[in-house]
A and B are shown apart, each in its own frame.
Chain A
Amino acid sequence: MTEPQEEDGGRKPATPEFRRQLQDIIPSLRAFARGLCGNRELADDLAQEAMMRAWAARDSFEPGTNFRAWIFMILRNHFYTTIRKNSRMTSWDPEAAERILVQEPAQQHAIHITDVEKALQQLPAEQREMLLLVGAGGASYEEAAEIAGCALGTVKSRLARGRTALAAIINGPGDVLETQRHSNMTDKDVMSTAA
């Protein structure tokens, strides 16, 4: 799958199926954008821009292929282009990030969503996007690799490093071993597949 060209050629009308997919993807597109930039308003701008670019480039989408991966790729590429021009995109939005407490049913293992959101914004963007795609959005390694344009091993490496770094930011370095236990990778795996 290739990144679409930014043009509104309008050579053929959008099909009802394309229109439906565009509408259906809005919630997860907003969630991905929010996680990437950490700011509600900017995230919605990103998501709308991605929708417009997808619409303009609809000719390059092959029906039957992964629409989510295609439009997520548009969004993340636009995000990286934008943050190079605008430092605001890396800011964390405290207004949007107060609220929820994540709790395991037995009420024994609670962490604040706000802590995770803040910690995510401190990670390198390539680790953050993997945590958002796979950890938050439920994408497969293959889908994440397609979106980010990288190898499977790179996805796993960034994911493992991101999880370790996230736990270290939230809990301090002492939590690394516990976090690695939940990761699918060992230190050896990480070293052997490091990007």
Chain B
Amino acid sequence: MRFVNAVDPDFDPISAALRQMHNGVASEPVPDEFLLLLDQLDARMAEKNKKPS
């Protein structure tokens, strides 16, 4: 399929596709493993803070 701008000469399909590609991923729900990772990092820090100096 070719990039043909018959209606709006300023429409750039490459830019639009790149933005939509990015937004498609960014709008996905954050997978649980990421939230779990944050929890683990929190727990690791809390553990370190408990240790006597």
How many residues of B are counted as interface, with CB atoms below 8 angstroms from the partner's CB atoms?
37
Contact of A132 with B22 in the complex, beta carbons under 8 Å = yes
Confirm or deny: A156 has a beta carbon within 8 angstroms of a beta carbon on chain B: no
Q: How large is the interface on A (under 10, 10 to 19, 20 to 34, 35 or more residues)?
A: 35 or more
**A111 touches which one: B13, B33, B38 (CB < 8 A)?**
B13
Question: Which chain B residues numbered 1 to 28 have a C-beta less than 8 Å away from chain A?
Answer: 1-8, 11-28
* Contact flags A33-70 to B (C-beta < 8 A → 1, else 0): 01100000000100110011001000000000000000
Contact of B15 with A30 in the complex, beta carbons under 8 Å = no
Give Cα A48–Cα B4 distance, bound, in whole angstroms. Answer: 40
Question: Which chain A residues numbered 99 to 142 have a C-beta less than 8 Å away from chain B?
Answer: 99-100, 102, 104, 106, 108-113, 115-117, 131-132, 135-138
- Contact residues in A for B27 (Cβ distance below 8 Å): 27
Considering only CB atoms, which chain A residue lies closest to B4 in the complex? A109
Give Cα A112–Cα B16 distance, bound, in whole angstroms. Answer: 11
- Contact residues in B for A55 (Cβ distance below 8 Å): 41
Q: Tell me whether A28 and B6 are in contact in the complex, defined as CB-CB below 8 angstroms, given that A23-B38, A51-B34, A111-B1 are known contacts.
A: no
- Contact residues in A for B42 (Cβ distance below 8 Å): 19
Contact of B30 with A27 in the complex, beta carbons under 8 Å = yes
A binding-site residues for B, Cβ under 8 Å: 10, 13-14, 19, 22-23, 26-28, 30-32, 34-35, 44, 47-48, 51-52, 55, 99-100, 102, 104, 106, 108-113, 115-117, 131-132, 135-138, 163, 166-167, 170-172, 175, 178-179, 182
